[in-house]
Amino acid sequence: MAQATLAAANATLAAANPITVTYEDRNGNDRTFTQGDRIRSCHHYGTSTRNVRIESWWLLLRKGAVQYWMRVFGSLVDAGHFSKEDLADQIAMYAVYGPEVRRDLANYVGVSNTRVIRKQRNREHVVSGIPADQWAATWKLRLTG
C-alpha cells in the first residue's frame, strides 16, 4: 500500500512537467515513453529460466532497500497520519521522504553495479557487462546516484 502511495504522489507531481524518452525496441521500432505512462515493450515473454536473474535482483532490491520504506509508509497509513486521497499528504510525503528513498535506491543500485554479469556459453540471451553501462547503451542515458 505504501509503495502505491509514493507512486501516486510521484505521478501527481510528474503530471505537471512529465519527462518523455524515445527509444528503439529490440525489433527496431521507435517507442516513446512519457512519465506516468506504462511501458508495454520493456519486457518479453519467455521461459522462466530467462527471468531468474532479474526476478532475483528485484527480490534483493525489495529486501535490501524497499521493504524498510514499505514498513515506514504502511505505519503512517495505519496510524492515520497519511491518506493517499489527500493531495497535500501526497506532496508532503514526496517532499519529506523522496530524497531519502531515492538515496537508498541509488546506493543499492550502485552496489549492484559493482558486479559484472559474465558472458555465458550457450545462453546468448544473457547480456554481459555492468548493468548501468547496459542501461546507458540502450537508453542513451547515464544513470547517476
pLDDT digit string, tens, across residues 80-135: 999 988 999 989 998 999 999 988 888 887 887 787 777 778 877 667 777 766 66
Q: Domain spans of the chain?
A: 2-139
Percent of the chain exceeding pLDDT 90 equals 19
Mean pLDDT of 34-41: 58
Query: pTM score, two decimals?
Result: 0.53
Q: Which of 37, 5, 2 is nearest to 19 (CA)?
A: 37
What's the confidence (pLDDT) of residue 20? 73
Average pLDDT of the chain is 75
Would you say 57 and 65 are in contact if contact means Cβ atoms under 8 Å apart?
Answer: no
Asked whether the predicted pLDDT for residue 69 surpasses 90, the reply is yes
Q: Rg for the chain (alpha carbons), in Å? A: 18
